[in-house]
Amino acid sequence: MDYQTVAQGACEKIEEAVSRFLVNGEPQECRRYGNGHINDTFLLCTGEAGEERGRYILQRMNTDVFKDPKGLMGNVSGVTKYLREQIIKSGGNPDRETLTLVKTEDGLDYYVDSIGSWWRMYLFIADATGYDAVEREEDFYQSAKAFGHFQRLLDQYPVEKLTETIPDFHNTPKRFEAFVRAVREDAMGRADKVRAEIAFVMDREKDMAVVTDKLKRGEIPCRVTHNDTKLNNILLDDRTKEALCVIDLDTIMPGTAVFDFGDSIRFGANTAAEDETDLSKVSLSLSLYETYTRGFLAGCGGSLTAAELEMLPWGARLMTLECGMRFLTDYLEGDHYFRIHRPDHNLDRARTQLALVEDMERKWEEMKVKYCL
Ligand code: ADP
Ligand code: GN1
Ligand code: MG
C-alpha cells in the first residue's frame, strides 16, 4: 500500500491504525486530505483498481487540543446516531447526510495506537465538496440554511450527555485573559513585532463580554451548538448544489446560536482568505452577510428569540475578534495550537481577522439595522 506523504513523524503508526478498522477491501492508498487546522486527516482508498473501491476518512485526533478524546468520541457517536435516526425518519440518506463512524475490530469507534495516538475513521462522503471560499452566493445560502437546520435538529438532544470537549471554547473574556498572559510572557520574543496588533485587541477589551454576559444572565438561551461553523466544515452536494452534511463535530457543546452564526460570517463573508497577506483585500461583504442571515434564519425555522436576533451582528464581530486574538496568542506562544504551513502563518491569519473586525466596525450600522432587526 502506498502511504504517500504520510511519513511525517506524527503519523508514523498510520499503517497500524488502518489495519485495525473494519474496511471493505484491501487498503491501497492513503494520503493527506482537506484543509483543517486541527486534526491530521487522510483519505484512505481500498480495493484493487477496477473493483468497486472503498473510500474512508481517517483522522489522527489532536489530543493536545482535545484533552478528553474518549469523551469527545462519546459526543460524536451520540450525536451522529441521533442525527441518523432523524434523517431516516425524514426519508433522507443517513450515509451521506451525517458522518458515519467505522468500527474497529474491537467494536470501538476509535483506536489508540502503540504510541498512544488516537485514531478514528468515517465513511468518505463522495461527490460532495467542502469549500474554502464562497464561489457562488447561493452556496453560502445553502450552508447557512444547513447550519441553522443543524442546530434545530439538535434542539431536543440531551445536553447532559455532552462532554465539554474544550472548556470555555467560546468564552471570549477568558480568551482575552489568555491573550494578555501570552503578551506578558512573550515566550518567543515576538511581541515587539506585533505592538500594533496587540494594541488593537487591548482597545477592544470592553467588547469581549457583550455576548457571554447575555448568556450568563439567561437573556439568550444556551443551546446545543456546533461552535466551528466555517464553510469547509459543511459538504455541498456536487449534483444538487444543496448542503448535504455538517462535518467536524468535535466542538458540539452547549453554546450560543449567535456564535454559530458569527463564525460562519467571519470565514465566509470575508472577501479575502483567512490567511491573505494583502490586507487591502479583506472586507466584510454585506451582500454575503445578508445572504447568510436569510439562510440561517430560514434553517432555524423561527426558533431564535428576539434577543438572539438582536445579537447576531455582535456574534459576527466577536467571533472575528476572538479568532484574531486566538491566532495572535498562538503566534506569541510559538504556534503550538493551529497547524501552520509557513513562518508567520498565524500572524497573517490574525491580521486578516483584525482587519475584518475593523471593517465590521465601519459597517456596523448597516450590519445591525438593515438585515437583522
Ligand atoms: P479539522 O478538525 O482538522 O478541521 P475536519 O474534521 O474538518 O478536521 O476534516 C478536515 C477536512 O476533511 C474537511 O474540511 C473535509 O474537507 C474533509 N472531510 C472530513 N470528513 C469527511 C467525510 N466524512 N467525507 C468527505 N470529506 C471529509
Ligand atoms: C479551527 O478545525 P478547523 O480547522 O475546522 C478551530 C476553530 C477556528 C478555525 C479557524 C477546535 O477549525 O475554532 O475558528 O480553526 N477549531 C478548533 O479557521 O480550535
Ligand atoms: Mg474542520
DSSP β-ladder status, 234-237 and 54-60: unpaired
| Secondary-structure breakdown of the chain: helix, strand, coil percentages, each rounded to the nearest 5 | 50, 15, 40
Give pLDDT, residue 373.
44
Q: How do residues 207-246 score in pLDDT, each as one tens digit?
A: 999 999 999 999 999 999 999 999 999 999 999 999 999 9
Give pLDDT, residue 371.
53
Half-sphere exposure of 77 (CA within 13 A, CB side): 16
- Alpha carbon distance 190, 292 (integer Å): 37
Query: Could you tell me if the CB of 75 is within 6 A of ligand 1?
Result: no
Q: How do residues 324-338 score in pLDDT, each as one tens digit?
A: 999 999 999 999 999
Give pLDDT, residue 3.
63
The residue whose CB lies within 8 Å of the most ligand 2 atoms, and thus the one to mutate among 338, 351, 353, is: 338
Distance 226 CA to ligand 2 centre (A): 11
C-alpha distance from residue 361 to each of 110, 131, 283, 324 (Å): 44, 27, 11, 15
Query: Could you tell me if the CB of 170 is within 6 A of ligand 2?
Result: no
The mean pLDDT of 65-91, rounded to a whole number, is: 97
Q: What percent of the chain shows pLDDT beyond 90?
A: 93
Length of the chain in terms of residues written: 373
Residues 371 and 289 sit within 8 Å (Cβ to Cβ) = yes
Query: Could you tell me if the CB of 262 is within 6 A of ligand 2?
Result: no
The mean pLDDT of 80-91, rounded to a whole number, is: 96
pLDDT at 9 over 60: no
Residues 360 and 270 sit within 8 Å (Cβ to Cβ) = no
Tell me which of 343 and 5 has the higher pLDDT. 343
Termini Cα distance of the chain: 57
Amino acid at position 72, single letter = L
Nearest CA, atom 17, ligand 2 = 38
The mean pLDDT of 355-370, rounded to a whole number, is: 93
Nearest CA, atom 9, ligand 1 = 36
Residues 102 and 21 sit within 8 Å (Cβ to Cβ) = yes
Q: Beta-carbon neighbour count of residue 367 at 10 Å? A: 23
Residues 215 and 171 sit within 8 Å (Cβ to Cβ) = no
The mean pLDDT of 340-350, rounded to a whole number, is: 98
Query: Could you tell me if the CB of 260 is within 6 A of ligand 2?
Result: no
Q: Which of 347, 372, 359, 292 is nearest to 320 (CA)?
A: 359
Ligand nearest to the CA of 338: 2
- Alpha carbon distance 101, 262 (integer Å): 29
The residue whose CB lies within 8 Å of the most ligand 1 atoms, and thus the one to mutate among 21, 35, 40, 41, is: 41
Give pLDDT, residue 2.
64
Average pLDDT, the chain: 95
Distance 41 CA to ligand 3 centre (A): 10
Tell me which of 8 and 319 has the higher pLDDT. 319
Query: Could you tell me if the CB of 236 is within 6 A of ligand 1?
Result: no
Distance 358 CA to ligand 1 centre (A): 31
DSSP assigned state of 240: T
Nearest CA, atom 15, ligand 1 = 34
The mean pLDDT of 309-336, rounded to a whole number, is: 98
Q: What percent of the chain shows pLDDT beyond 70?
A: 95
- Alpha carbon distance 350, 365 (integer Å): 24
The mean pLDDT of 346-363, rounded to a whole number, is: 98
Residues in the 5 Å CB sphere of ion ligand 3 = 36, 233, 248
Query: Could you tell me if the CB of 129 is within 6 A of ligand 1?
Result: no
Longest dimension (CA), the chain: 62
Ligand nearest to the CA of 166: 2
At 75, list the grid cell.
Answer: 459526543
Give pLDDT, residue 11.
75
